[in-house]
């Protein structure tokens, strides 16, 4: 298939701070035929205020927001292992960083892609740090206004950094009627750039529609079990569902064809039989 849709499994924080769980998710993405896996990286002290971190939150790691946030973060040694494992398996990996120090930390791995998560699209410091690297960057547009997307795109254009906007609706999980897929061709028209789709939907219909509308990539959250602890688990697909998801995406792209009016051998045979 020419120019296949790039499919990324968003592991994010669904690993719950467990490297063995992360390994199983990477392997599930590889088995399903995904092109890449993505994580999330935060410097807790920079992203959140002390007051927020001290506030109450029940989690497997304790009773505060700090305990929960720290429990979800991997160490450098653990990221070293992820890098080694993905390279051995032959699957690309990258991360969406929520602060500049996290972005600088990721540079040691010389990753192929960068990602701007929807909540940091308005953070000019992060945008500049990412754009300066010159790597192909996926930019999620959830929760953003046209003016905010304009300012973000301006940063990447000025620094001559290749990018792909990702249509995204920041509802977890997302009812299909909120998908607003017609923004995909509108984003492409407005910014003259590749456009993908970041999915939080229930089912696969919106992702398949995104491909039909020309999405160059699709990102889908993955989990081992939607009933596990975590804010993103309910909007994720389990391993068997991920396999079916990838199959359907590949089939949808195959169904698009070339757009040329050309009769196939099969149709010509039917024409001969029915029309003489």
Give the tens place of pLDDT for each residue, 212-257.
999 999 999 999 999 999 989 999 999 999 999 999 999 999 999 8
Whether 1 is covered by a domain: the verdict is no
CATH code of 73's domain: 3.20.20.70
Whether 113 is covered by a domain: the verdict is yes
- Pairing type for strands 62-64 and 56-59 reads antiparallel
CA dist 221 → 11, 39, 43, 260 (Å): 6, 10, 22, 35
Whether 182 is covered by a domain: the verdict is yes
Structure token digits, residue 137: 């960057």
Whether 222 is covered by a domain: the verdict is yes
**DSSP-assigned states of every residue in 143-205:** T--HHHHHHHHHHHHHTT--EEEEEE---SSBPGGG--TTHHHHHHHHH-S-EEEEE-BSSSH
- Sign for the pseudo-dihedral over CA of 200, 189, 252, 165: negative
Residues 6+ apart with CB under 8 A from 105: 41, 76, 79, 97
Give the span between the Cα atoms of 166 and 142, in whole angstroms.
8
Instruction: Please give the DSSP secondary-structure letter assigned to residue 236.
Output: S
Strands (E), the chain: 6-12, 36-41, 56-59, 62-64, 92-97, 113-116, 136-140, 163-168, 195-199, 217-221
The parent domain of residue 146 ranges over 6-275
Whether 218 is covered by a domain: the verdict is yes
pLDDT at 1: 64
pTM value? 0.94
Whether 80 is covered by a domain: the verdict is yes
pLDDT at 136: 98
Write out residues in the chain with pLDDT < 50, as ranges.
Answer: none
pLDDT at 262: 85
Whether 239 is covered by a domain: the verdict is yes
Whether 29 is covered by a domain: the verdict is yes
Number of domains in the chain: 1
């Amino acid at each position: 298939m020419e120019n296949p849709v790039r499919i990324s499994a968003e592991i994010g924080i669904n690993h719950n701070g467990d490297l063995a769980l992360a390994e199983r998710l990477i392997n599930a993405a590889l088995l399903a035929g995904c092109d890449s896996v993505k994580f999330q990286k935060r410097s807790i002290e920079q992203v959140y205020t002390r007051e927020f971190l001290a506030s109450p939150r029940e989690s497997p790691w304790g009773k505060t927001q700090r305990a929960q946030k720290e429990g979800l973060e991997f160490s450098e040694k653990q990221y070293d292992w992820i890098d080694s494992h993905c390279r051995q398996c032959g699957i690309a990996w990258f991360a969406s960083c929520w602060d500049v120090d996290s972005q600088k930390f990721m540079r040691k791995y010389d990753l192929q892609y960068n990602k701007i998560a929807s909540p940091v699209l308005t953070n000019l410091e992060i945008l500049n740090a990412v754009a300066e690297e010159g790597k192909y960057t996926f930019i999620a547009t959830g929760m953003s206004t046209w003016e905010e997307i304009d300012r973000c795109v301006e940063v990447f254009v000025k620094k001559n950094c290749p990018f792909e906007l990702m249509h995204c609706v920041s509802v977890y999980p997302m009812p299909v009627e909120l998908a607003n897929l017609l923004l995909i061709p509108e984003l492409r028209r407005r910014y003259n750039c590749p456009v993908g789709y970041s999915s939080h939907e229930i089912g696969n219909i919106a992702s398949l529609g995104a491909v039909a509308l020309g999405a160059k990539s699709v990102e889908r959250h993955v989990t081992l079990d939607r009933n596990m602890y975590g804010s993103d688990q309910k909007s994720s697909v389990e391993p068997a569902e991920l396999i079916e998801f990838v199959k359907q995406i590949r089939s949808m792209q195959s169904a698009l064809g070339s757009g040329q009016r050309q009769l196939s051998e099969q149709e010509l045979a039917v024409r001969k039989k029915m029309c003489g």
